[in-house]
Chains A and B, each alone.
Chain A
């Protein structure tokens, strides 16, 4: 069933118990992203150490209102990027974006995606892709605001 493959137990677990939730100090940039079609919103802060691809993501903190997909995606984001470099994080985001926008035709790279591979089922529901990307694109935007040397996302201008 497509519905079950989207609502994986791991997604519902993250939704019920989001990781790293709440806004924290210190931070280098804060962004507010909204999905105007449904009203979902996220306020997200990043705290970096360093600059460019090698900068370390020290913290991602967030306050979010939204559906299980957008909440769980932001929770998984926190798991996957905190403690890693911006370059590694953007590699995950590029692969993740390719997967959820792939209409089910993209074979996800589990080695890169880790837990984020659980969102593969979203690709079958184009109306939910924005939910899965809300927190991740907020993260990308926050990094760009925090660091003028932030790298470009792979595959994007």
Chain B
């Protein structure tokens, strides 16, 4: 196997954040007239270590070729690099690492991965393959989501329902940022008509980690498929898709120290083998005649066209980097940052956290409001102090509506963030309050 990754500067159980930071060239830059960058927007996209950048560059400088085509030396090396990345990414999330029985499909991003499942299911309706019948969705069937979904795990299911005549149902979010699973209304959300249950592994706004086991159990009891949006979990915490028991999971490379332009769909092998394709064309076929075609086995069936290759190599290197640190260590470090942020923000008058206020069943997306200051204005003042946060509805508009807020400020972390940066955020929030208090401009 060809790999293009070297180990991170820091390996082993003890997390030396300064050493880790030295792997990320962008973190040493300044912004807005010389202020050190405080990057607290990894929930939107994470930064990439040299090891990932080097792996991509080395691949492109030595082995670049179109994969799964041709029989020349570069083509073989490129195909090896691509498939090796698939295998390591599979192992990273507890999926089948064997390339022959792989459960990992490369997509453009997580959004495409979720659309792949949704479109495959509506394509099953017109498919003449008897194996595809089990995925048919139509009038009388129900698709279940939650009110805390990112648009990427909501709109594709709204669209599937529109195309097929199925009905969309959802679990509501309670004021404490947890899903309502137990009220009388919630009890019947998943029922014998349910075909699909799609939900997030960690809300990108609230940080909430829903009870996956309970949802999988309810879905299984009625024979529904489960689809997990793992965009905010796989980059930050150990995830074992087989242990979780979900049927599908999706995540993006760029949120886990890897490149943009690559996402991953995990699907249970047995399901991928029976599913009809989403995108069609080259590479995904078995036999093509003018009258019609048959399709390759998965994962090739779902990877039409020449795939992204250096991105796959880069994501493989990102997984190696994270594995060398250890996902337990990543999670423990980010939990400490989250705890400090939650505690510090709650200690400031006029700041309201949207979502759970402790780190229990919660990840590191910390969203909040500052009384009397629109998030956009708050972010402008934070930005002026070099602090990058996300503002807006974070692609979760219905969730914001449920909380009666138009938008929010979100700080999110990764392994390279420090407690000093959390303190910079807290100081920045106080500066925002001073700036807009009407008592003059504090700069």
Looking at B56-64, B102-110, B161-169, B374-382, the stretch in contact with chain A turns out to be B374-382
Q: Which residues of A contact B400 (CB under 8 A)?
A: 39
The reply to whether B393 and A3 form a contact with Cβ atoms under 8 Å apart is: no
Q: Which residues of A contact B377 (CB under 8 A)?
A: 7, 67-69
The reply to whether A125 and B392 form a contact with Cβ atoms under 8 Å apart is: no
The reply to whether A67 and B397 form a contact with Cβ atoms under 8 Å apart is: no
Q: Residue B443 at the A interface, CB < 8 A? A: yes
Q: How far is the CB of A75 from chain B (nearest CB, A)?
A: 14
The reply to whether B443 and A38 form a contact with Cβ atoms under 8 Å apart is: no
The reply to whether B376 and A7 form a contact with Cβ atoms under 8 Å apart is: no
Q: Which residues of A20-49 have CB atoms within 8 Å of chain B's CB atoms? A: 37-41
The reply to whether B374 and A39 form a contact with Cβ atoms under 8 Å apart is: no
**Pick from A3, A16, A38, A128: contact of B407, CB under 8 Å:** A38
Q: Which residues of A contact B441 (CB under 8 A)?
A: 4, 7
Q: Which bracket fits the contact residues of B?
A: 20 to 34
Counting residue pairs across A and B whose Cβ atoms lie within 8 Å, the total is 51
**Pick from A3, A16, A38: contact of B391, CB under 8 Å:** A38
Q: How far is the CB of A1 from chain B (nearest CB, A)?
A: 6
Q: Residue A55 at the B interface, CB < 8 A? A: no
A-B contact pairs, 30 of them (CB 8 A): A1-B443, A2-B32, A3-B380, A3-B384, A3-B443, A4-B441, A4-B443, A7-B377, A7-B441, A16-B438, A38-B375, A38-B376, A38-B391, A38-B392, A38-B393, A38-B407, A39-B393, A39-B397, A39-B400, A39-B406, A39-B407, A40-B376, A66-B374, A66-B376, A67-B375, A67-B377, A68-B374, A68-B377, A68-B436, A125-B380
| A12, A37, A40, A67: residue with the most chain B Cβ atoms closer than 10 Å | A67
Q: Residue B295 at the A interface, CB < 8 A? A: no
Interface of A with B (CB < 8 Å)?
A: 1-4, 6-7, 12, 16, 37-41, 65-69, 125, 128, 131
Cα–Cα distance between A4 and B265 once the two chains are bound (Å): 46
Q: Which residues of B366-419 have CB atoms within 8 Å of chain A's CB atoms? A: 374-377, 380-381, 384, 391-393, 397, 400, 406-407
**Pick from A1, A3, A41, A131: contact of B376, CB under 8 Å:** A131
Q: Which residues of A contact B376 (CB under 8 A)?
A: 38, 40, 66-67, 69, 128, 131
Cα–Cα distance between A131 and B376 once the two chains are bound (Å): 9
Q: Which residues of A contact B32 (CB under 8 A)?
A: 2
Q: Residue B435 at the A interface, CB < 8 A? A: yes
| A1, A3, A69: residue with the most chain B Cβ atoms closer than 10 Å | A3
Cα–Cα distance between A41 and B397 once the two chains are bound (Å): 13
Q: Which residues of A contact B435 (CB under 8 A)?
A: 7
Output the nearest chain A residue to B376 by Cβ-Cβ distance. A67
Cα–Cα distance between A48 and B384 once the two chains are bound (Å): 42
Q: Which residues of A contact B374 (CB under 8 A)?
A: 66-68
Q: Which residues of A contact B407 (CB under 8 A)?
A: 38-40
Q: Which residues of B contact A12 (CB under 8 A)?
A: 436, 438
Q: Which residues of A contact B393 (CB under 8 A)?
A: 38-39
Q: Which residues of A contact B438 (CB under 8 A)?
A: 12, 16
